[in-house]
A and B are shown apart, each in its own frame.
Chain A
Amino acid sequence: MTEFFVPKHIVPRITPDAAEFFAGTVREELRIQQCDTCGLHHHYPRMLCPHCGAETLHWVTASGRGVVHSYTVIRQNGVPPFNEQLPMIVALVDLEEPGARMLANLARIEPEAVEVDLEVTAVFRPASDEYSFVDFRPAVSA
């Protein structure tokens, strides 16, 4: 499976609550929020902790390490540019930092080799000057 290329027109709109996350991706840092009150992390960025509701959030740089909680292989998608990139592996990755889960593409692995609990590491794929997509690859290359 080759690396995905995604054109600029599907890059997310950068909102003020998430500016730090997007800026981090350009530096190849996975920036997520942690709550001072309950200690848990979350992604995507928000004003309040989704776990306990507190406003006491600060930014941390995640290690990028995580495990596949579940995954699917998208084999039909009529929307350009995805229709020309199939199959695409989409996984829910539980980050090492408790509380944070991300939906992302898996790269550098064949669909048949993916399994639940696979250990993965974040990799960054530039999309524009303002944002890089966060993909994950196997932590140990086969």
Chain B
Amino acid sequence: MGRRVCVVGVGLSDGPKTPDMTPMMLQAQSFRRALDDAGLQKNDIQGVATAGYAPMHEAQTCEYLGIHPSWLESTSVGGSSSEFHVLAAYRAIEAGDVDTVALIYGNTQLSTSGRSLGTGMAMGLSGPSAYEMPTGMTLVGAYAIAAKRHMHQYGTTSEQLASIAVQTREHAGRNPHAMYRDPITIDDVLSSRLIADPLHKLDCCVVSDGGCCVILTTEDRARDLERKKLVYVRGAAGASDHHSVQAMPDLTTTAGAVSGPKAFAEAGIKPSDVDMFAMYDSFTYTVLVNLEDLGFCAKGEGGPFAASGALRLGGALPTNTDGGGLSATHPGMRGLYLQCEAVRQLRGEAGVSQVEGAEIAVAHGSGGWLSTYGTVVFGTEPAR
């Protein structure tokens, strides 16, 4: 049997707006905070996992932090990168290749690119996007075209999608660091302007700055540190099924339908065992389709399930209790924030946002255009 793996430190940088910080500064700040949270020093870190935008980003990051790791991982698949990083780090720690790994991300999406909602950048003229970009397709449009098909196939409504934004904003209202905190209504979402039909402005995540760090280590090392309540990695899995929109096997089912059940099986849990869901909410539709794909409700029932209020505190599946990407923080790749919030909940540190008695939390990252999925199951007890 391999070694058990625990989260021993989490750190968030300043945010959501940091015009005087670079991505590297945000990474360093979150790294320092995660080290302090864990009671570790920089030279305790033997492995680093990070995805960024510069050539040899991972080596640049380690140099800036003054560490010399013997284990590196830099799978870069957008918003699910950090869940793929956990998967790799978890296996490596389990197998004994490395003891302590820091997962790090930071970006100044807001201060660098502004609030263009994924409509300000060309999707690229090389690779498969070359066949799509000349149509004027945008990032939002890619999610919108999938949402439209879901509506056609299952009768999903704009009101149901909007209810996800409304419930997420309720969570953000309890988070002093969230970008937007004032309550919104379904009418507010529906009367915000259409960006790409059927998605309105308030169906889209915010654009922010921010950095985040999570430190994983062995159960033994975590016990020695005697810091916080232990949080175990119980299972992890990844899956990918397309890059360009025209290659999506099914607009109404994501690769999360592969990674989710696989991670749940390893963790030895059922969907009904999940106390809290940290879901990459790039758009309201991303949440809706993944509620189905992870088995929290049946295929096609994501709309009614979400609209029932399931995502609220006290609901069937409290989701994105920090206010998510829809209202709180979205610096480009949000995957690590999901893990931070899951850990905060399982440690019982979530304050007014606490899900009472949370024992199982799931972080589910979504990358690209509903392209790549990584699922991590955390628990207050080990899976085996």
Contact = CB atoms under 8 A, between A and B. Distances in A.
Interface of A: 4, 6, 10-13, 43-44, 50, 69-79, 82, 85-86, 88, 90-92, 101-105, 111, 116, 127, 133
Interface in B129-145: 130-138, 140-141, 144-145
Nearest to A43: B246
A16 to B, nearest CB: 14
A44 B135 CA distance: 14
Contact of B196 (A69, A74, A116): A74
Given A70-B152, A90-B141, A103-B244, A77 B136 contact: yes
A78 B141 CA distance: 13
Nearest to A79: B122
A76 B138 contact: yes
7 contacts: A13-B130, A73-B196, A75-B196, A88-B136, A90-B135, A92-B145, A103-B245
A77 B136 CA distance: 7
Nearest to A9: B125
Interface of B: 116-117, 119-122, 125-126, 128, 130-138, 140-141, 144-146, 148-149, 152, 193-198, 244-247, 251
A6 B140 CA distance: 21
A70 B148 contact: yes
Contacts of B141: 72, 74, 90
A78 B116 contact: yes
B193 A75 contact: yes
Contacts of A50: 247
Contacts of A11: 134
A11 B134 CA distance: 7
B148 A10 contact: no
A50 to B, nearest CB: 7
Contacts of B251: 69-70, 92
Max chain A C-beta neighbours (<10 A), residue from B135, B141, B145, B195: B135
Nearest to A82: B136
A87 to B, nearest CB: 9
A33 to B, nearest CB: 13
Contacts of B146: 70
B125 A10 contact: yes
Contacts, number: 104
A32 to B, nearest CB: 12
A74 B149 contact: no
Contacts of A74: 119, 136-138, 141, 196
Nearest to B200: A75
Given A12-B125, A103-B132, A104-B135, A73 B119 contact: no
Contacts of A12: 125, 130-131, 134
Contact of A101 (B128, B134, B144, B246): B246
A6 B134 contact: yes
B131 A77 contact: no
A90 B137 contact: yes
B197 A85 contact: no
Contacts of A116: 148-149, 152
B135 A78 contact: no
A76 B204 CA distance: 13
B149 A70 contact: yes
B145 A88 contact: no
Max chain B C-beta neighbours (<10 A), residue from A77, A86, A92: A77
Max chain A C-beta neighbours (<10 A), residue from B117, B131, B134, B144: B134
A82 B133 CA distance: 10
A101 B49 CA distance: 37
Max chain B C-beta neighbours (<10 A), residue from A73, A88, A104, A105: A73
A76 B114 CA distance: 14
Max chain B C-beta neighbours (<10 A), residue from A71, A72, A78: A72
Contacts of A91: 145
B264 to A, nearest CB: 29
A78 B123 CA distance: 12
B145 A78 contact: no
Contact of B148 (A72, A102, A103): A72
Contacts of B145: 70-72, 90-92
B196 A79 contact: no
A102 B196 CA distance: 19
A44 B247 CA distance: 9
A97 to B, nearest CB: 14
Contact of A44 (B117, B131, B193, B196): B131
A76 B119 contact: yes
Contacts of B138: 74, 76-77
Nearest to A91: B145
Nearest to B146: A70
A76 B134 contact: no
Contacts of A69: 149, 251
